């Protein structure tokens, strides 16, 4: 049986009313909001606290006036993922025989044979 999962490579998010002093662990009130803290990391509001998430894809973290974009396309197993992409998956760019799925706030590897993208969906045959 093939696993077909939605691909989460790059995500758009609403900017929080973050000041430059916000840090991971600080309180926040707007779920899934946040901002870029650097070109490779963002803070996401999850469960009332800011959480640092790597934006390790080539586009990194970019910020506009009302939203920011975090590129997860080069995520690694064990790295943090925001709650807004919970259950989403992508092929692991470092290992063609696994996909990465956001589970409980962490990218988790799932072994398969030849992870591929078909019509915007991840297909990972066990």
Q: Could you report the per-residue pLDDT of 12-47, keeping only the tens digit for each?
A: 454 554 445 788 999 998 888 888 999 999 999 999
For 44, the 3-state DSSP assignment is: strand
Give every residue of the chain whose pLDDT is below 70, as ranges.
1-20
Query: How far, CA to CA in Å, does 125 sit from each of 1, 25, 98, 99, 113?
Result: 7, 38, 9, 10, 5
58: region left, alpha or beta (phi > 0 left; psi from -120 to 50 alpha): alpha
Q: Total domain count for the chain?
A: 1
For position 31, what pLDDT does the model report?
86
Domain span holding position 73:
3-125
């Amino acid at each position: 049986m093939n696993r077909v999962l939605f691909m989460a490579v790059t995500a758009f998010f609403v900017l929080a009313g973050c000041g430059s002093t916000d840090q991971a662990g600080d309180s926040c009130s707007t779920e899934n909001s946040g901002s870029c803290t650097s070109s490779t990391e963002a803070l996401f509001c999850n469960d009332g606290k800011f959480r640092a998430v790597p934006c390790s894809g080539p586009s990194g973290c970019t910020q506009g006036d009302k939203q920011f974009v975090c590129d997860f396309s080069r995520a690694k197993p064990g790295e943090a993922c925001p709650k807004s992409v919970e259950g989403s998956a992508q092929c692991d760019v470092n290992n063609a025989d696994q996909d990465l799925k956001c589970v409980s706030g962490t990218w988790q590897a799932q072994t398969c044979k030849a992870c591929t993208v078909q019509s915007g969906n991840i297909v990972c045959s066990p």
